[in-house]
Homo-oligomer: A and B are copies of this chain.
Amino acid sequence: MKYGIAVFPSKDLQDIANSYRKRYDPKYAKVPPHLTLKAAFELNEDEEDDMINQLREIASTSNPFTLKIGKYSTFHPVTNTIYMKVTENEDLFALHAKLNEGDLTIDVEHPYVPHITIGQEMNYDELSDVYGRLKLETIHHEETVDRFSLMYQLENGAWSVHETFVLGKSQ
């Protein structure tokens, strides 16, 4: 089964992201707006319980963190993606590290850039136009994140949340 780990931010931030995703993100209907903590990975279902125990342990020994958005950015020319850039943050990077080391190590192609995607697989003209406008905008959003979600992917490509893990709390 294919799994992924992400943070779903507040309704306010999800609504802002969706106002762009609706037009610019072909995965709009497959998953709500999110901050990926661990990219999609394959795992046998019989290993799921072990992983969940690890995730509970990681959550209980991690701190809630501040999710701060200061601007929009793009991964172009690597991919034609526009995203809300999440300001770097020690607690977030510590959590990301714990979710991607030891038994949870997976091969990743790029260094971790925390972000919330608002457009992807855009054609170049559209990306230039939209990003040209957004890079002039400032966005000031700050919220406390106190949980992350383990999801699995359905056959149609949509993601279903299997379990949420509250940070900094023994469960």
List, in ascending order, chain B residues with CB within 8 A of A164's CB: 161-164
Known: A8-B161, A162-B164. 13 other contacts (CB 8 A): A1-B11, A8-B162, A11-B152, A14-B154, A14-B160, A15-B156, A18-B155, A18-B158, A22-B156, A29-B30, A29-B158, A32-B154, A164-B164
List, in ascending order, chain B residues with CB within 8 A of A162's CB: 8, 164
Asked whether any CB of chain B lies closer than 8 Å to the CB of A120, the reply is: no
Q: Out of B1, B11, B163, name the residue touching A160 (CB < 8 Å).
A: B11
Asked whether any CB of chain B lies closer than 8 Å to the CB of A38, the reply is: no
Asked whether B154 lies within 8 Å of A15 as measured between CB atoms, the reply is: yes
Asked whether any CB of chain B lies closer than 8 Å to the CB of A36, the reply is: no
Interface string of A127-168 (1 = CB under 8 A from B): 000000000000000000001010010111011111110100
Residues in chain A within 8 A of chain B (CB atoms): 1, 8, 11, 14-15, 18, 22, 29-30, 32, 147, 149, 152, 154-156, 158-164, 166, 171
Given the known A-B contacts A29-B29, A171-B171, are A15 and B155 also in contact in the complex, defined by CB atoms under 8 Å? yes
C-alpha gap A171/B32 in the complex (Å): 26
List, in ascending order, chain B residues with CB within 8 A of A159's CB: 32
Question: Can you list 7 A-B contacts (CB < 8 A)?
Answer: A8-B160, A15-B155, A18-B154, A29-B29, A29-B30, A32-B159, A163-B166
